[in-house]
Amino acid sequence: MELGMRPAGRIAGKGNGMPKKNTSGRGQRDLRVKVKTARGRKLSSTRWLERQLNDPYVARAKREGYRGRAAFKIQELDDRYRFLVPGARVVDLGCAPGGWCQVAVPRINALGEKPGKAVGRIIGLDLKEVEPIPGAELHVLDFMEEGADDKVKDWLGGKADVVMSDMAASASGHKQTDHLRIVALCEAAAELAFDVLEEGGTFVAKVLAGGAEGGLQTLLKQRFDKVANVKPAASRSDSSEKFVVATGFRG
């Protein structure tokens, strides 16, 4: 639970789909939105704002009513691996702001809008309250606290078919530290998945490439039939972000 991108500053021509040749003798107009650094605002914040304003996935998320560009990542992963099926019971860890839940609800038929199809359930967990999403059950819960797995199974009325996580620890600014933090978070999510997943279930989680994820890969390969590492098209090319998709939980 996505896509091509046209290079900024290039205007597509008509007819054959090729860019029009510039015959004016001047450079083509730069179509990117540029943001000046305001007094009191850090340069990094200005760069982030400029990147957001020029990100086609951010614009698309607004048009389609998703709460963030991350929705397109889980769309692409599910299009490829087909784990969000009607009737599936899903746990979304660190679900804020809710984009992954938004994608999952219609795919698992949580609202029962697909006649003749099984009705699924999705439980979203986060440390903070999330604005309601029709078809999703949202709970404020630290999934690492004692007894969290039992609460999840009680809310679902049984075990889950999918545990997914787009969580990332707060950035420290130090690349290796951030890598270690997100791998540790992913390992904790995997441990919960081992407790709540039904046999044959799927685990999907975000990690950052950096070398320390080898232990996580080994752990998952011991418990799942297949483990794949995927970088969706919606992930920024300059990001070390990737997603692990583990299918066929052995129980």
Q: Is 178 annotated as a binding residue?
A: no
Which H or E element spans position 224?
Answer: strand 224-230
Q: How far is CA 178 from CA 49, 109, 173, 212, in A?
A: 21, 36, 7, 11
**Do you know the residue count of the chain?**
251
Number of CB atoms found within 10 A of residue 53's CB:
13
Number of CB atoms found within 10 A of residue 56's CB:
15
Beta-carbon contacts of 138 under 8 Å, excluding residues fewer than 6 positions away, are: 95, 98, 101, 123, 124, 125, 126, 129, 130, 132
Q: Is 114 among the residues known to form the active site? A: no
Q: Is 98 annotated as a binding residue?
A: yes
Asked whether the beta carbons of 117 and 111 are under 8 A apart, the reply is no
- Taking Cα atoms as reference points, which of 154, 91, 79 lies closest to residue 120? 91
d(CA 159, CA 40): 50
Q: Is 30 annotated as a binding residue?
A: no
Q: Which of 117, 151, 206, 226 is catalytic?
A: 206
> b/e string for 73-92 if b means 16 or more Cβ within 10 A?
bbbbbbeebebbebebbbbb
User: Which residues fall in the annotated binding site for S-adenosyl-L-methionine?
Assistant: 98, 100, 126, 142, 166
Catalytic residues: 206
